Amino acid sequence: MAIRTTNGRGRLFDSVLDTIGDTPVIRVNNLGPDHVTMYVKAEAFNPAASVKDRLAVNIIEAAEREGKIKPGQTVVEATSGNTGIGLAMVCAAKGYPLVVTMADSFSVERRRLMRILGAKVVLTPRTEKGTGMYNKAVELAEKHGWFLARQFETAANADIHEATTAREILGDFAGKRLDYFVTGYGTGGTLTGVGRVLRNERPEVKFILSEPANAALVSSGTKQERGADGSPAASHPAFEPHPIQGWTPDFIPLVLQEALDKGFYDELIPVPGPEGVAWARKLAQKEGIFTGISGGSTFAVAMRIAEKAAPGSVILAMLPDTGERYLTTPLFEGIPEDMDEEERQISLSTPGYHMP
């Protein structure tokens, strides 16, 4: 086997923001059934390591194009973490102060990542759920005249997935078979943006949507109460706390509502959080693909589809982020810091230095 070589990207980048997108589609070689071909789109290859980098840059640049944000104006947003991390990167590069509101139930490493990127993180009680951190962001924006990013309602969210994510999928699968596209939802931007394009240009692709089994808001059939601007008027009655961070706040976002209204999914398959954890671990240990609980949950659903799919089917699953921002979550439960007995015996098998 010849040594691997690289030639660079053929360009020099003016900003870290220019490296967002063009994430790789990677074949799954060891986990999928033999009768299908499985791929994942690994959004951890974005510079701040999640799919939310896309909407973060477009929210700010759309506001700049439309004159809705002033130089040096503070940006504020409610986020479970990935959008906040993406916004912190974008704001650092562009010189905007950022304040993030986040429920205190989300992983500590997410707070620290935002803070090292220069953001301020205001924690809200977990008992108030996603609507609590959302309402706090609105209050702060109104009180201080800050720019509210509004990831759950802004057109800039789905628009960037229409312009980039969908086009990347079309390019990568040009002239190739693609039968299923599998995704969960946080804001719904990925499903809506990709759906706009693939429904027209690759109508044979079936869209599979997932959500947490114990927070199955869409599956419930209960409509979301909204304010006049599309914002959530109340917590959705079907919501319960779940371990799939980044998925399914306690309301159905307006961005997702477009996909629901236009029928941008063919099947809805809820997934339990522990199943997502299990498949995230399997992806890491059997494929070397490191993703978070949301990615593991998406892949869990893709595996269900794979088992019943026709021979030769091709399945693409979205992996929203990296597993490194789940270090204090159930994903790493039981993963020891110290040597286990097998590791200790390996150390003792030679006379060199070993831990007692």
Which are the catalytic amino acids?
52, 294
**Count of Cβ atoms closer than 10 Å to residue 354 Cβ:** 14
Relative to beta strand 25-28, strand 37-42 is antiparallel
Residue 156 CB contacts under 8 Å (≥ 6 apart), including other chains = 55, 58, 59, 62, 63
List the one residue out of 277, 281, 286 whose CA is nearest residue 29. 286
Phi, psi dihedral angles at 42 (to 5 degrees): -95, 95
Phi, psi dihedral angles at 43 (to 5 degrees): -75, -10
Residue 112 CB contacts under 8 Å (≥ 6 apart), including other chains = none
CA distance 230 to 256: 11
Contact 16, 47 (CB under 8 A): yes
- The burial of 138, by beta-carbon neighbours within 10 Å (0-12 exposed, 13-18 middle, 19 or more buried), is given as middle
List the one residue out of 191, 193, 186, 192 whose CA is nearest residue 215. 186
Residue type, 39: Y
